[in-house]
Structure formats: C-alpha cells, structure tokens
Structure 1
Amino acid sequence: MAGDLGLWGIPVAIVGGAIRVSTPFLFVSLGEVLTERSGRINLGLEGTLVFGAMAGYGTAVLTGSAWAGVLVAALAGVVFGLVHGIICSLPKVNDIAVGIAMMLLGSGLAFYFGKPFIQPTAPDLPAIALGGWSDLPQVQAALNVNVLFLIGLALALVMAWMFRSTKVGLTLRVVGDSTDAARAMGLRPAVIRTLATAAGGAFAGVGGAYLSLYYPGSWNEAISSGQGLMAVALVIFARWNPVACFWAALLFGGAGALGPALQSVGVTKGYYLFYAAPYVLTLGVLIATSSTTRALSGAPGELSITK
C-alpha cells in the first residue's frame, strides 16, 4: 500500500499515476499538433481514440500479440483521419461539425464491434522497470514505465526537430499559416492537410491501444473519459509545441491521478472530488486562452478557432 510511505505516498502515487495516465493524452495531443499545424482542427479524435482502443484490444485477443493490436489501432486511426480529411476538403464543409460527426461515428462503431471483446483477456503491452534502485514496492510500481510512454517522449522530440529543421515541417507550417502562400509555392494544401489528419489519427489510435492494452488494460464502453477532447485543450495550452505537449500531458495526467493517489494513502472522504480535476483543468485552460481582442500566440493562421 502507498499508505505505508505516509505523506510521501501521495507524491509517489501522483508521479506513477501521471506517467500512466498521461500517455493517451500525449499521443492524442501529438496527433492533434500535426493536424492543427497544417491548419485543420480535428475534434473527432475522441472517437478515433475509442475505436483504436477496441481495434487494438480485439486484435490482441485474436492474435495473442499486443504489438499487433497497436499496429491495427494505428491503421484504424489512419482510416478515420483520411475520411475526416477528405470530407473536410470538400467545399463549404466545417471542420468542427465533421469532427463531432466522426467522434460519434467512431464511438458508435467501437461499441457495436467491441461487444464480443468485453470478456476475453488480451496480452498487455510491456513495461520497463525503472524503479529497481529502490527496495520500496510503491516506488518500483510508480516507476514501472510502459514502452509507449517512452516512445511518445521520443516522438515529441522528433516532431519538435521536424517542425524546426526539415522540409516536411516547413511545408506543414506554411500550409497551416497561409493557404494562399502555400499555393503560390506550388503546394496542395488540401492534400497536405488530409495526410496530416491521417497521421494525427494514427497517433490517436495508438493512444487508444494504450488504454485497452495497458492502463486500465481492458476493453469496455467507458474506457475513455474524454481524453480525446481534453487533448485539444492541451494542445492550445502547449501552444502547438510538441515538447510542451509532453509536459502538459504529464500535468493533465497528474491531475487525473489525484483521486486515486489520495485513496491509496487512506483518504476516505472527499477524494472522489479530485477525479474531476482533469475536467476542471481543461475548463480553466479554455477560459484562460479565450480572448475577443487578441489571437492565440503560436496558433496557425488557417486554424478554424483563430477565425
């Protein structure tokens, strides 16, 4: 029990919980950064996350391989992203309306096709024990880090470098800032945005696979608590910076770990109120970043929420 550590059990539990809870936020937010830096917002990532969780879990059950589940979840995310991108490329189509429709579609399909996988058990994704230096089982458990968390950290660093120093990153930034400038350079904004949306969907699908194959590690219809939608606020909070998304995901993850951390040290009254911390944080971020007099710093010029 974390309670054996006394008050130290709270920060230990929060650190461990932040690492576990932040991983879906990290992948979805990185995918949304890719999409929004191209000038398109995708509110459908919640549906992609849920469908990815179902597809990954079902594949792992049928094949016996958790990594096969991650791959299929990513491919499912690509399909959802392509559909979203192609529809949004049509004239007079609103990104936000399409995103809401895709969110409902993804969740509905996941619930329909996922019913046979509620009971079966799938193999878990591997984790790396980084707490071996301590004799305390609580510390060891807190620092039992899933491989996808480390992959997400590496992807955040690679994406930051890509946006800063590569032709692909420059292309995405130009398309996201000005459609006219992109066309003047001979680029095809609609195609680039569709590909960016598909890549963002793949990231969200992987985030969903993490939910079902590691934490909480099962498939059910309530597996997501709105991480896909909260990730949009996280991206705004991180100012479209992939590395800042990593730290923001840890912050959101830590907020999500407050309730379980208090419960683990023996707090029996009122701890459940802290389960609402991620939602309160999301609301606070949206209020703090809203303004009728100034643009969001760092926001791509073609993004719907800046117009």
Structure 2
Amino acid sequence: MDAFADTALFTLLVAMLGGAIRVSTPFMFVALGECLTEKSGRINLGLEGNLVLGAMIAYAISFHTGSPWTGVLAAGLSGLFLGAIHGYVCKLPRVNDIAVGIAMMAFGTGLAFYLGKPYIQPSAPRLEAIPLGEWTGIPSLAQALAINPLFFVGIALAVGMSWFFRNTRMGLVVRTTGDSAPAAKAMGVSVDLVRFLATAAGGFLAGVGGSFLSLSYPGSWNEGLSSGQGLMAVALVIFARWDPIRCVWAALLFGAAGAIGPAMQAIGVTQGFYFFNAAPYILTLLIMASSARSRFSGRDAPGELSIVK
C-alpha cells in the first residue's frame, strides 16, 4: 500500500512539474509583454486578442511554410500589429486605455476566428521539444522534461528585461514615463512615443505566447484555445508587482494550478475534474482580491497607470 501511495505521489508530482512548465509558457510571454507595457504607464487588456490571433497566425504560417519557427515570428508580428494599433489609438486625446484594450481584444479574437476557420482541421508542423529527461530511464519523467525551447526563451527574456529596466538609460526612460509623465517630459522624453513602442513590443511578446498554444501545447488551432489566459496574465503582473523575474515564478504558479486537473487524471482521480480545471480562475480571483488589499502592490505600481490614479 505504501509503495502504491509513493508511486502515485511521484506520478502526481512529475505530471504537475511537466504541466507547470507547459502551461506556464504562454502566461510567461503575455505577462512579460504586459509588464513592459504597464512599466511605461499604460494598461493593455487587449492582449487576449493578441494571444488568440498569434495562435492562429502561427498555425496558418507553419501549415503553409512547413516551418514552425516562421510561424512563431509571424505570430509575434501579428501581436505587434495589434499592439501598435492600441498604442496609436491611446495617443489620441480623451481616450481610455482600458476601453481601447477591451475593443482590441474583441477585434483580435474576432479576426482570428474569421481568418482561422480553414485551419481548424489541417495539421501543421509543430515546435519540437528538447528531450532533457531521457537520461532518467523513466518514461513519465522523460515526457515531463521534454521542454519546448520557447520556455527557455521566455526565461532569457525575463532576465534581459530585468537587466534592461535596472541598468540601461532606455529602461530608466520607460520606468520614468510610467511613474511620472511630467518628469519624463522634463527630461525631454516623448511620453507618447515611449508608450507606443512599449505597447507594440508587449503585443509582440503576447503574439509569441499565442504561437506556443497552437504549435506546442495543446498543439492545434481551435476557437477555444486560449480560455482567457491573456486576461489572467494581467492579474499575474499585479501579483508579480511589475517585476519580470517574479513574472516567471508567477507564471509557473499559474501553470501548476492549470496542471492540477490533468495531473490528478494521471493517477486515476477523475472525480472533481472540472473543479480542478477551474483552479487557475480561482487563483486569479484570489490574487486580485489580495492585491486590492495589499499596500505593496500599490507601492510598486507605476504611478501613471489609470488603475492607481
């Protein structure tokens, strides 16, 4: 009995490890994109649209070219396109960035659904995972440690973004723009240009995150692919207190929550499956509630965000 329990526990932990890494990757890219955008003093709730459109574009381009990495690049460019529209519209007078974000989310998802109908059935080349666990000789562990390269790209981006904010003049300009627009203007900085570029770059990262959904996990294109991950990433950024490195840890936490349901199935637990699948949404609600009462999140928030004014 003890041996069975130990085996079940090991299987559960392995399944959660692999699931956390897989599920966290799109969260990571969208969160890093939103972190960059919010650091400049703007909120982009439209990244859900970037994520969905990026997934569709990546799948379509991979299908037609036979190159999944070309699909990843195309997904990023589609996110850049939506981010640039968002950034430009928000430069106009008396425009609310939250309202624009909601409109862009509807536009991005609607465009993806319209253009993506021919690609629901065809099979496109997928991104190959890096087999890091074959040395273990344990099939379940080897499968859990077959990690997509985009996961490592996301970690490298988080480290690079953290260094960028702390050690470069442009990083200082972005942070100053987000904390105090008058101070940035006194430095001779074009606030609108900085926010436009940050929003477009953030959209690019969200688009790349979408490519992971269609080209790796789950690895297909359909209209229910995202399940609100772009919106949950906004809560993730608040939880991470606008720090890129913390965004990685928060993404892994969300990924582990999303992996609970499949991990329980792996050990034969099927009761409450749908409740376990709701774990990321419950976690989002708890994070938003706790962040609203936390003095730390308010202290770390960029001062120019509309939610703190």
Q: Give the TM-score range, shorter chain.
A: over 0.9
Change beyond 3 A, Cα 1:177–1:142: same
Counterpart residue number, 1:20? 22
For residues 125-140 of structure 1, the aligned pairs below 5 Å read: 125-140=127-142
- The residue that corresponds to 1:59 in the other structure is 61
Separation in structure 2 between the aligned mates of residue 37 and residue 201 of structure 1, nearest angstrom? 14
Q: What does residue 9 of structure 2 align with?
A: 7
State how far apart, in whole Å, the 1-side matches of 2:210 and 2:85 are. Answer: 18
Residue pairs, 1:10-89, within 5 angstroms? 10-89=12-91
Equivalent pair of 1:295/1:306 in contact (CA under 8 Å)? no
Count of matched residue pairs: 305
Cα distance per residue 1:163-215 (max 9 Å; x no partner): 00011110100100011001110000011101000000000000000000000
The superposition leaves residues 248-296 of structure 1 with CA deviations (integer Å, 9 ceiling, x where unpaired) of 0000000000000001110021132110000000000000011498861
Mapped pair 1:283 → 2:285: yes
2:271 to 269, 272, 281: 269
Aligned residue number for residue 186 of structure 2: 184
Q: Secondary structure at the match of 2:241?
A: coil
**Helix, strand or coil for the counterpart of 1:91?**
coil
Q: CA deviation at 1:139?
A: 0.1
Partner SS, residue 121 of structure 1: coil
**How far is 1:6 from its partner?**
2.0
Paired residue type of 1:216: P
**TM-score, structure 2 normalization:** 0.97
Cα distance change, pair 214–294 in 1 and its aligned pair in 2 (3 A)? closer
Please tell me whether the aligned partners of residues 238 and 297 of structure 2 are also in contact (alpha carbons under 8 angstroms).
Answer: no
Structure 2 equivalent of residue 216 of structure 1: 218
Provide the C-alpha distance between the structure 2 equivalents of 1:284 and 1:51, rounded to a whole number of angstroms.
28
Q: Give yes or no for contact 1:25–1:228 (8 Å, CA) kept in 2.
A: yes
CA distance in structure 2 between the aligned counterparts of 1:38 and 1:271, rounded to whole angstroms: 40
Distance in 1 separating the partners of 2:169 and 2:188: 14
Q: Return the alpha-carbon distance in structure 2 between the equivalents of residues 244 and 85 of structure 1.
A: 25
1:171 aligns with 2:173: yes
Q: Write the letter of the residue equivalent to 2:265.
A: Q
Question: TM-score, structure 1 length as denominator?
Answer: 0.97
Name which of structure 1's ranges 270-279 and 280-289 shifts more when overlaid on structure 2. Answer: 270-279
Map of 1:109-148 to 2, 5 A cutoff?
A: 109-148=111-150
Which letter maps to 2:126? D
- Structure 1 position 5, deviation (Å): 3.5
d(CA) in 2 for partners of 1:29 and 1:104? 19
- Residue 235, structure 1, aligned to residue 237, structure 2: yes
Q: Unaligned regions of 5+ residues in structure 1, if any?
A: none
User: What is the rounded CA distance, in whole Å, between the counterparts of 2:247 and 2:38 in structure 1?
Assistant: 13
SS of alignment partner, residue 154 of structure 1: helix
Deviation at 1:305, TM superposition (A): 1.1
Alpha-carbon RMSD: 1.4
Question: Is 1:226 matched up with 2:228?
Answer: yes
Change (3 A) 1:152 1:292: closer
Corresponding residue for residue 254 of structure 2: 252
